[in-house]
Amino acid sequence: MIPFNKPHLTGKETHYMYEAVSKGKLSGNGDFTKQCQSFFETKYGFKKCLLTTSCTDALEMAAILCDLQPGDEVIVPSYTFVSSALAFVRVGAKIVFADSMRRNPNIDASLIESLITPRTKVIVPVHYAGVACDMDAIMDIADRHGLLVVEDAAQAIDSYYKGRPLGSIGHLAAFSFHETKNVIAGEGGMLAINDPRFIRRAEIIWEKGTNRAEFFRGEVNKYGWVDTGSSFLPSEVVAAFLWAQLENLDDIQSKRKALWNRYYENLKDVAEVAAPFAEKALSERSEFDFSRTEGATSDKTFQLPDIPDYATNNAHMFYLVCNNLEQRTALISRLKENGASAVFHYLSLHSSPFYAPKHDGRELPGCDRYADCLVRLPLYYELTFDDVDRICEILKETIQSES
């Protein structure tokens, strides 16, 4: 069976974990934590990085830093993981859900301004599949309206927007090192702080609301409780595992990109690329039926991932967008019958049991289309070209049998 995901080990993880244990410093903010944080600050230019136990924790730290009051509004795409919204719900914010683009699942920047009210405080762009949102448009809107931008870069390690690393553009950003990501720590995350005014408070929130980190650096002669916060630090064992991954980032990325390209080359002749019909879909939004793809895909069968000109591909995910739910179900079933696991992704948050009663009733057809039609194919370091070729042949045979 070809699994959907398989965590990749570089071979140094247990060595560094043993080293962490032998040093006798297992709690957070030790040598491996500092090495990992310095790696990101140096390689990607983030002003300050703080490792966390998860991306959810990083988002919760960001929500605290945004100093939201009950009833303040946060604009979040509906097609995303629950943490993108939950972190802000926990501090009392009202979530205003935005629709996805036609060409890819990212937030439609052209719709954001219409959602802004006097209570709006934050925009949360989610870089789906590691592909950049239109950050110039989003930052321009934020600047004109005095809003903060928190990049949900959970899937976006080592990906860029017009040459700028994702996670370095907004005021704050959150990354994930969950076992399904490109580089992993089992569970783990990171908050990147790009606006200097948040750096000192972020470290205090990170250290349970204390100025403990300043004390250990000798900047104060004692530490105490000075703000809100929580125990957001991961242990040194987690940081040691992550360090082994970061040392091999270039190798991991090279292999994943080769596999992604193999998928694309195999399927490009039997699928539709989003870009040719994207402008039409956006300009005729009021007339375009997002629940169907006929007319957009002509005689083609499904849509391949879209990488806009302003974005790079970090090969986090290879997905297809089917014509409808029935086609997706059939493709997943056929792959499973032939020994390959493919999975769908998010359900739209605006229609979730928890948030539907709070949603303002607006239809978000782009998000719902991806919820019904998007399918993710296996992509991990140990996957082989032969595996990819086999999966693609199954997809082609399924399409031919239905045509």
Tell me, yes or no, whether 345 lies in a domain: yes
Two structure tokens written together for 164: 């700028």
Q: What is the pLDDT of residues 109-151, one digit of tens each?
A: 999 999 999 999 999 999 999 999 999 999 999 999 999 999 9
Same-domain status, 125 and 241: yes
Count up the domains in the chain and report the number. 2
Structural domain of 87? 13-248
User: pLDDT class for 349, splitting at 50, 70, 90?
Assistant: very high
Contact 346, 80 (CB under 8 A): yes
Q: Which long-range contacts (CB under 8 A, 24 or more apart) does 251-255 make?
A: 252/8, 252/10, 252/182, 252/183, 252/381, 253/158, 253/182, 253/314, 253/315, 255/381
Same-domain status, 257 and 309: yes
Same-domain status, 294 and 242: no
DSSP reduced 3-state for 346: coil
User: pLDDT class for 403, splitting at 50, 70, 90?
Assistant: low
Same-domain status, 139 and 153: yes
User: pLDDT class for 221, splitting at 50, 70, 90?
Assistant: confident
> How much is the pTM?
0.92
Tell me, yes or no, whether 279 lies in a domain: yes
* Spatial CB neighbours of 388, under 8 Å, sequence gap ≥ 6: 259, 262, 263, 266
User: pLDDT class for 25, splitting at 50, 70, 90?
Assistant: confident
Residue that terminates a domain, selected from 217, 248, 279: 248
**pLDDT surpassing 50 at residue 278:** no
Q: What is the pLDDT of residues 293-332, one digit of tens each?
A: 333 444 457 999 999 999 999 999 999 999 999 999 999 9
The DSSP element (H or E) to which 97 belongs, if any, is: strand 94-98
How many residues can be counted in the chain?
Answer: 403
Contact 387, 400 (CB under 8 A): no
Tell me, yes or no, whether 3 lies in a domain: no
Residue that terminates a domain, selected from 231, 248, 265: 248
